[in-house]
C-alpha cells in the first residue's frame, strides 16, 4: 500500500495516486461522481451529452487544439460515462504530466458550450444512439436494464434517447456541469511514473476553479418494483436473449462469492454454460454471464444469441444451470479454478497505469476507500463452496428475474412462456 496515496483539497475534492516508478508514462483522470442515475427522465442522457461537450472547446483551446495538445506528444485522450460516474482521462509520457492536467482541467472547468457546437454534437449523439440500436447485442442489454429497473433512471440508456437528447438545451448543460463538477463529487487520479506531491500541486489550481454548487443527487432505488419482460421485434438472423437477476449492491460482502460464482457459471469458455450450450449442444457461438454492482442494487446477466427456433430450449438450459448452482455446491476443482482465476485477473488488471488509475477512481467513488490489494486477494481465497451456493440461492429467484429478447417475431407472451411465467 506504500505506492497508494490520498490527499483532500480545500473544498472537498480528493487526490489519489498510485506510484509505479518502473514506468515511463502516467495515466491521469478527473472523475465526477455523477452519471445517468443523476438525471431526470426529461433530460435523460445529459451526463453523456456533457461528456461530449467538454471536448468541444474551452476559453483557451478549440476542439482541435484539445486533441492536438495530447496527441501531439504521443498521448491518448478520452472519457466515459456510466450510471453513477464520469471520467475524463489522458495517458502521456511522465514528463507531460503537467500538460495532461492542464488540458483535462481546462475541459472540466473552462468549456464554453458554443451554441453551434451544441447543435452539431446533438446530431453526433443521435447517430451514436442509432448505431447502438442497430447492434442487437447492445440493444438487448438496454432492454434488459429497462426490464430490471422499470420507470427508474437505471433503466434508461446512459446515452439517452433521440427524443430526450433533442430536449437538452445549452443552459441545461451548463447547469448540469456545475452540479456534477461540484468539489464534493470530484476525484483526481494518477497512476504510473508520478510523485504524489507533484500531482497535488498540479491539480490544486483546477480544484480552485471547480464550481461552488450543490452536488447532483442520484435517484435512489427502493427495490419494490418487480422486474418485467421487454421485447423488440427486429429483422435479425438470430434471437438475442438476455436474462437478468436483480441483486444486491457493491458494498455487500457476498460480492466475492458472486465473482467466483460467475466464473463457474458463465464468464469464460471453461464455464458450465459455455460447455453445456455451445460445446455439448452446439446451440450458440457464445454464451456469457456477468454482473454489474451499483450503490444499492445490481444486476447479474446471462446473454446469448442463437437460432430463434432454439431460443426456448436455451432459456430452459440456462435456468436449469442457475438452479443447479443454488441447489448444489460447486466441486473442489471448480472452486480452486474460480479462486485462481479471480485472483489472477485482479493481478493482471492491476498492472497497467490506465487500469490502476481507473481502479483508484472507481474504488473511491464506489466504496469511499482504497482497499489493500492483498486484502482483496485474501477475500477471494476465503470464499467457500457453500458461500457460492448461498449467493446463488439468493440471486436466482424468479421474483428477481428480468428478461429481454430482440429478434424476429419477438413476442411478450412467448417470452413469458420461455421463462415459465
* Residue 346: closest CA among 369, 368, 366, 372: 372
Distance from C-alpha of 406 to C-alpha of 421, rounded to nearest angstrom? 18
* 325 close to 396: Cβ distance less than 8 angstroms: yes
Distance from C-alpha of 79 to C-alpha of 88, rounded to nearest angstrom? 4
If residue 412 lies in a helix (H) or strand (E), which one and from where to where? helix 412-418
How does DSSP assign 222-244, residue by residue? ---SPP-EEEEE---SSEEEEEE
Catalytic residues: 51
* Residue 176: closest CA among 52, 24, 353: 52
Determine how many CB atoms are found less than 10 A away from the CB of residue 409.
12
Q: Cell numbers of 101, please?
A: 492536467
List the strands of the sheet with 4-8, edge to edge.
4-8, 14-19, 186-192, 25-32, 86-93, 76-81
Distance from C-alpha of 98 to C-alpha of 195, rounded to nearest angstrom? 12
Residue that the C-alpha cell 460447486 belongs to:
330
3-state secondary structure of 185: helix
Q: Cell numbers of 411, please?
A: 413476442
Residue that the C-alpha cell 482483496 belongs to:
376
Class of residue 318 by CB neighbours under 10 A (exposed 0-12, middle 13-18, buried 19+): buried
Query: 55 phi and psi, to 5 degrees?
Result: -95, 0
Amino acid at each position: 500500500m506504500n505506492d497508494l496515496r490520498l490527499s483532500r483539497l480545500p473544498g472537498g475534492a480528493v487526490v489519489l495516486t498510485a506510484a509505479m516508478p518502473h514506468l515511463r508514462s502516467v495515466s491521469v483522470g478527473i472523475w465526477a461522481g455523477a452519471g445517468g442515475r443523476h438525471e431526470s427522465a426529461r433530460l435523460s442522457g445529459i451526463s453523456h451529452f456533457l461528456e461530449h461537450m467538454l471536448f468541444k472547446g474551452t476559453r483557451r483551446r478549440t476542439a482541435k487544439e484539445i486533441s492536438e495538445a495530447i496527441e501531439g506528444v504521443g498521448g491518448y485522450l478520452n472519457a466515459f460515462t456510466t450510471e453513477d460516474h464520469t471520467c475524463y482521462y489522458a495517458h502521456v509520457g511522465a514528463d507531460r504530466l503537467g500538460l495532461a492536467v492542464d488540458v483535462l482541467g481546462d475541459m472540466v472547468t473552462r468549456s464554453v458550450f458554443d451554441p453551434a457546437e451544441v447543435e452539431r454534437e446533438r446530431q453526433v449523439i443521435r447517430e451514436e444512439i442509432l448505431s447502438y440500436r442497430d447492434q442487437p447485442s447492445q440493444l438487448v442489454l438496454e432492454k434488459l436494464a429497462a426490464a430490471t429497473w422499470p420507470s427508474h433512471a437505471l433503466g434508461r440508456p446512459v446515452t439517452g434517447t433521440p427524443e430526450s437528447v433533442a430536449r437538452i438545451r445549452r443552459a441545461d448543460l451548463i447547469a448540469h456541469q456545475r452540479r456534477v463538477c461540484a468539489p464534493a463529487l470530484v476525484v483526481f487520479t494518477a497512476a504510473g511514473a508520478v510523485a504524489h506531491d507533484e500531482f497535488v500541486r498540479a491539480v490544486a489550481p483546477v480544484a480552485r476553479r471547480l464550481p461552488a454548487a450543490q452536488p447532483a443527487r442520484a435517484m435512489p432505488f427502493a427495490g419494490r418494483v418487480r422486474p418485467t419482460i421487454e421485447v423488440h421485434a427486429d429483422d435479425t438472423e438470430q434471437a438475442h436473449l438476455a436474462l437478468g437477476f436483480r441483486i444486491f449492491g457493491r458494498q455487500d460482502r457476498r460480492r466475492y462469492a458472486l465473482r467466483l460464482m460467475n466464473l463457474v457459471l458463465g464468464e469464460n469458455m471453461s464455464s458450465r454454460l459455455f460447455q453445456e450450450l455451445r460445446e455439448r449442444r452446439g446451440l450458440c457461438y457464445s454464451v456469457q454471464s456477468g454482473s454489474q454492482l451499483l450503490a444499492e442494487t445490481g444486476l447479474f446477466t446471462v446473454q446469448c444469441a442463437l437460432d430463434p427456433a432454439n431460443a426456448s430450449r436455451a432459456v430452459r438450459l440456462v435456468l436449469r444451470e442457475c438452479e443447479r448452482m443454488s441447489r448444489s455446491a460447486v466441486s473442489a476443482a471448480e472452486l480452486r479454478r474460480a479462486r485462481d482465476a479471480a485472483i489472477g485477473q485482479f493481478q493482471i488488471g492491476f498492472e497497467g497505469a490506465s487500469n490502476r488509475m481507473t481502479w483508484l477512481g472507481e474504488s473511491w467513488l464506489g466504496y469511499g476507500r482504497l482497499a489493500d490489494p492483498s486484502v482483496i486477494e485474501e477475500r477471494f481465497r476465503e470464499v467457500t463452496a457453500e458461500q457460492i451456493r448461498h449467493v446463488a440461492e439468493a440471486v436466482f429467484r424468479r421474483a428477481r428475474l428480468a428478461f429481454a429478447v430482440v429478434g424476429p417475431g419477438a413476442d411478450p407472451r412467448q417470452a413469458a412462456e420461455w421463462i415459465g411465467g
